[in-house]
Structure 1
Amino acid sequence: MAISVATPFSPNHQPFCFPSSSTQFLKIHHFHNQRFIPRIPFSSFRNNNPLPETECPVPLDQQPVNEFKALSDSFPFSWASGDLVEYCSRLFATGLAFALFVGLPVNLFGSAGPIPEPLKPFLGAVSGGLIVVTLSVVRMYLGWAYVGNRLLSATVEYEETGWYDGQIWVKTPEVLARDRLLGSFSVKPVLSRLKNTLVVLATSLLVCVVVFVNIENGQTDSYIPSEEAGGRSVPGVYDDESARSFEPDAFCGGEPADP
């Protein structure tokens, strides 16, 4: 039996064979207008049966290939291994939903006083959505990196009954070749996609911070005490008329005292 691998590096996409005792097919599909991260079928693991020829002592749920399958089917890790357009749309929908339903109401109604600049609540909502998406991508990256290291490693650390009886099993050449093919062609592209996503999110957050700081500096410059009303007026914050209404005793005869 052999592992048939179709790669896009050969001119006619001719497969090459690698010896193995179980047949698995790893196909890398190339589309003109989309990026698709390949997967291998798991028909041999559909019944949760270990490879009989390896006599692997590792429990099924701790075998790297089964960990990869579980991660590929779980939420939200499956987003990173799917179609690029679908992956981006799901991240965008997640950030937009958080910004509209959580970030924007908090910034509009959670402040202690009136907000003179209407752009600040919008920036706060967008920043909150970006932070939530960033945390989600970081969580996906950590999960995929862990499985990738397990696949590319020549040994498997596992526990039979609990944390106190940890064991190490050296992979056979067939299992090592299968796992490294899976890690190289399916996990590494996912990690690369997640890294690029984190760079874009970090840049977007930096832009939001720069704009917010510029708005704050502009508002600070506008709070310059006016020479009107005895030099005790700050636009939007304090003037003698509002002070007289709350503290009439502080003024002589209802008029501001001469300096």
Structure 2
Amino acid sequence: MASSLASSVFLCPLANPKFPSPSPNPNPNPRRRRKRSSSQSRFSPISACSASSFRNGTPPETECPVPLEQQPVNEYQALSTSFPFSWAAADLQDYCSRLALTGVSFALFVGLPVAAFGTRAVTDPEVDGLRCALGSVFTGLLAVTLAVVRMYLGWAYVGNRLLSATVEYEETGWYDGQIWVKTPEVLARDRLLGSFSVKPLLSRVKLTLVGLAVSLVACVFLFINIENPRNPAEDAGERAVAGVYNDASARSFEPDAFCGEPDLS
């Protein structure tokens, strides 16, 4: 009896290192094991094509025929990092400082020399300086206005493509234009991006354009209403315009004919 018990203990697989020990919790149900294996195979690593599509903003399950550089989300990313469109996407302080620096640079290096050259004929120094200052300010405002208009056109184009349900694209050139209808996932993503990222930028640019337009009109109004002093010596020797009588011009040409007659002017 003792020998049989010892032999049974010796032949037990738990005590013999040559035999592997059974698992403590065996899975008697093969269906559960099959489900687990299928779930593990479902979460396989993402392929290179899928990873590139995620980086480009297109879900891997969406077969988008639009080239990468013509997709609205990629156009938005390219516009937000290009000059000068990235100014509108910056903070309000950086946006205003960049526009002010641009205007001052054009006013000093372009507008001031041109205005100084154009106002040399004015004899009054006060009027001369005022006209020169207004001309330089007008040049700076005009340069900033052109830059802001360019920003508005670019962001409005990208915003329309993001909010639209279709995308117009070209496969190889202008002659083979196509239209792709966005899937619900892509349409929701693009409209969120256009509503919360592009529309605030357009509102900021519109307000800037309104302010610049008012400033330009004020500069033009002041420049026109500045009195240009006339030199009396030049008025005495100017010739009469055909069809218009000028008493001073007539007296300067024929002084003997007006002897003893009162001055009509």
The RMSD of aligned alpha carbons is 2.3
For the Cα contact (< 8 Å) 1:127–1:205, is it kept in 2?
yes
Q: Structure 1: how far apart are the matches of 2:95 and 2:146?
A: 15
Q: 1:127 aligns with which of 118, 138, 146?
A: 138
Letter in 2 for 1:189: P
Letter in 2 for 1:166: G
For the Cα contact (< 8 Å) 2:131–2:223, is it kept in 1?
yes
Q: Partner of 1:97: helix, strand, or coil? A: helix
Equivalences for residues 18-57 of structure 1 within 5 A? 47-48=55-56, 50-57=58-65
Q: Structure 2: how far apart are the matches of 1:121 and 1:236?
A: 25
Per-residue CA deviations over 1:135-174 (Å, capped at 9, x if unaligned) read 1100100000000000000011111111111111110100
Give the corresponding residue for 1:186. 197
In structure 1, stretches of 5+ residues that fail to align are: 1-42, 224-233, 241-255
Letter in 1 for 2:84: P
Q: Structure 1: how far apart are the matches of 2:149 and 2:52?
A: 32
> Which structure has the larger Rg over C-alpha atoms?
2
TM (norm. structure 1) is 0.67
Q: Structure 2: how far apart are the matches of 1:208 and 1:236?
A: 31
Equivalences for residues 147-158 of structure 1 within 5 A? 147-158=158-169
Q: 2:77 aligns with which of 58, 61, 69?
A: 69
For the Cα contact (< 8 Å) 2:58–2:186, is it kept in 1?
no
In structure 2, stretches of 5+ residues that fail to align are: 1-50, 238-253, 259-265
Q: Would you say how many aligned residue pairs link Structure 1 and Structure 2?
A: 188
Q: Which has the higher strand share?
A: 1
Q: Structure 1: how far apart are the matches of 2:60 and 2:53?
A: 12
Give the corresponding residue for 2:176. 165
Q: Partner of 2:179: helix, strand, or coil? A: strand
Letter in 1 for 2:72: P
Give the corresponding residue for 1:198. 209
Q: Structure 1: how far apart are the matches of 2:65 and 2:179?
A: 10
Give the corresponding residue for 2:220. 209
Change (3 A) 1:134 1:55: same
Shift of 1:53: 1.0
The percentage of aligned residue pairs carrying the same residue is: 68
Give the corresponding residue for 2:96. 88
Give the corresponding residue for 1:113. 121
Shift of 1:237: 3.9
For the Cα contact (< 8 Å) 1:103–1:125, is it kept in 2?
yes
Per-residue CA deviations over 1:69-91 (Å, capped at 9, x if unaligned) read 00000000000011001101100
Q: Structure 1 stretches (4+) deviating beyond 6 angstroms?
A: 43-46
TM (norm. structure 2) is 0.66
For the Cα contact (< 8 Å) 1:50–1:60, is it kept in 2?
no
Give the corresponding residue for 2:154. 143
Q: Partner of 2:121: helix, strand, or coil? A: coil
